[in-house]
């Protein structure tokens, strides 16, 4: 059975005819980039995520860079974040010359441990970037309290969590600024792409400038003022997302709710399948949260992880490990980060494995994954 199958990936996009039609219609229009569809996509994502403003970027990483740049941080400033994330989260702190400080995670969720955040706050701390790991929202109530008490900016890297909710509120309106990614493995895709959503008008203006060379007005504002003049106030980049990509985004976003439901259904089936096996554990979602399940992560005994990984890979199942603690990377080692900073993250990292989860995963393929995991473990 395994041999005539192609790899079941851990995640993959769905592109339907209406997505293709939406892109083609932009290709036939007057604008390929920075036209009406960019605004349309930004408004749609902001609305969908409970925020006032959206600013699109060329990637989730560029969005995080924009967030850090709009905080006016520099050398000596510290930003607390999690080591269990894609390195782009803490790299964004390095982009602006500030220092990432890693706080440990909760072993049952792999979300940042708010008590450890509190322990790591110093007089140099300016912000906290949390990650809604796997699609599960962080403890925003406690994080908000900590941020207010110490006057810190609260940032959410919600690249896993488009469509997630916390206490009935959507991920997007819970932090001062929230970043999303539209990479094909995420919930909805634009090929490459990202967005920052915020309720703060000042951040909104700064983000827009930053992604367009630091220029205050865009071409439309100049057109309406009938002037060729523009001024560069601050250093910016070309991090724009095109109309072509935004057309795909608008079309994909219409399907988000259905896809998040499907991801939840797949997760419930995995939960049930492994419920009675003592040596494996799923991650917990708080009862008042809605998980968007970008990943389905299983904890297996640490001495069996490589075996499980290689057996499943041999069977054509694209299991993965999310993530190696960020400060294990040579770049971070060179910067002076050492093993032992976050013992829970380090221990849990040895146990985790991500199983395939994406809306187009068939029942048959999921049954195959479950049976192979059981086979490898029992």
Catalog residues that contact ligand PLP under the rule CB under 6 A: 59-61, 85-86, 88-89, 131, 157, 159-160, 181, 183, 194
- Rank residues 138 and 159 by Cβ distance to ligand PLP and give the closer one: 159
Considering the complex, what minimum distance in angstroms separates the CB of residue 64 from ligand PLP? 6
- Rank residues 174 and 373 by Cβ distance to ligand PLP and give the closer one: 174
- Rank residues 59 and 264 by Cβ distance to ligand PLP and give the closer one: 59
SS3 sequence, the chain? CCCCCCCECCCCCCCCHHHHHHHHHHHCCCCCECCHHHHHHHHHHHHHCCCCEEEEECCHHHHHHHHHHCCCCCCCCEEEECCCCCCHHHHHHHHCCCEEEECCECCCCCCECHHHHHHHCCCCEEEEEEECHHHCCCCHHHHHHHHHHCCCEEEEECCCCCCCEECCEECCCCCCEEEEECCCCCCCCCCCCEEEEECCHHHHHHHHHHCECCECCCHHHHHHHCCCCCCECCCCCECCCEHHHHHHHHHHHCCHHHHHHHHHHHHHHHHHHHCCCCCCEECCCCCCEECCCCCEEEECCHHHHHHHHHHHHHCCECCECCCCCHHHCHHHHHCCCCCCCCHHHHHHHCCEEEECCCCCCCHHHHHHHHHHHHHHHC
Considering the complex, what minimum distance in angstroms separates the CB of residue 158 from ligand PLP? 8
Considering the complex, what minimum distance in angstroms separates the CB of residue 178 from ligand PLP? 12
Considering the complex, what minimum distance in angstroms separates the CB of residue 101 from ligand PLP? 18
Considering the complex, what minimum distance in angstroms separates the CB of residue 90 from ligand PLP? 10
Considering the complex, what minimum distance in angstroms separates the CB of residue 135 from ligand PLP? 10
- Rank residues 106 and 274 by Cβ distance to ligand PLP and give the closer one: 106
- Rank residues 274 and 327 by Cβ distance to ligand PLP and give the closer one: 327
- Rank residues 54 and 316 by Cβ distance to ligand PLP and give the closer one: 54
């Amino acid at each position: 059975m395994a041999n005539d199958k192609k790899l079941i990936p851990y995640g993959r996009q769905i592109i339907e005819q209406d997505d293709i039609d939406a892109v083609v219609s932009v290709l036939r229009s007057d604008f390929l980039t920075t036209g009406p569809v960019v605004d349309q996509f930004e408004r749609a994502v902001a609305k969908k995520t409970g925020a006032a403003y959206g600013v699109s970027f060329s990637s989730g990483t560029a969005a995080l860079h924009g967030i850090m740049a709009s905080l006016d941080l520099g050398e000596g400033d510290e930003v607390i974040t999690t080591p269990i994330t894609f390195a782009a989260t803490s790299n964004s702190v390095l982009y602006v010359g500030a220092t990432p400080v890693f706080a440990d995670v909760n072993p049952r969720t792999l979300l940042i441990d708010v008590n450890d955040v509190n322990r790591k706050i110093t007089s140099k701390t300016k912000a906290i970037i949390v990650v809604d790991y796997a699609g599960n929202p962080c403890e925003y109530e406690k994080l908000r309290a900590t941020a207010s008490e110490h006057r810190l900016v609260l940032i959410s890297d919600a690249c896993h969590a488009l469509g997630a909710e916390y206490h009935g509120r959507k991920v997007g309106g819970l932090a001062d600024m929230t970043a999303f990614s539209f990479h094909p493995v995420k919930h909805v895709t634009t090929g490459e792409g990202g967005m920052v959503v915020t309720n703060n008008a000042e951040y909104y203006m700064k983000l827009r400038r930053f992604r367009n060379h630091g220029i205050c007005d865009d071409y439309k504002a100049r057109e309406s003022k009938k002037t060729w003049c523009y001024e560069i106030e601050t250093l910016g980049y070309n991090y724009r997302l095109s109309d072509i990509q935004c057309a795909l985004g608008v079309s994909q976003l219409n399907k988000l709710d259905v896809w998040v439901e499907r991801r939840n259904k797949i997760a419930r089936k995995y939960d049930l399948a492994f419920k009675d096996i003592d040596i494996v554990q799923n991650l917990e979602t708080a009862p008042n949260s809605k998980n968007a399940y970008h990943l389905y992560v299983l904890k297996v005994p640490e001495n069996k992880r490589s075996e499980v990984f290689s057996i499943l890979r041999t069977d054509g199942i694209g299991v993965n490990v999310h993530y190696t603690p960020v400060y294990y990377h040579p770049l971070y080692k060179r910067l002076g980060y050492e093993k032992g900073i976050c013992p829970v993250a380090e221990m849990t990292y040895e146990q985790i494995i991500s199983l395939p989860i994406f809306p187009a995963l068939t029942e048959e393929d999921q049954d195959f994954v479950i049976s192979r995991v059981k086979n490898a473990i029992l």
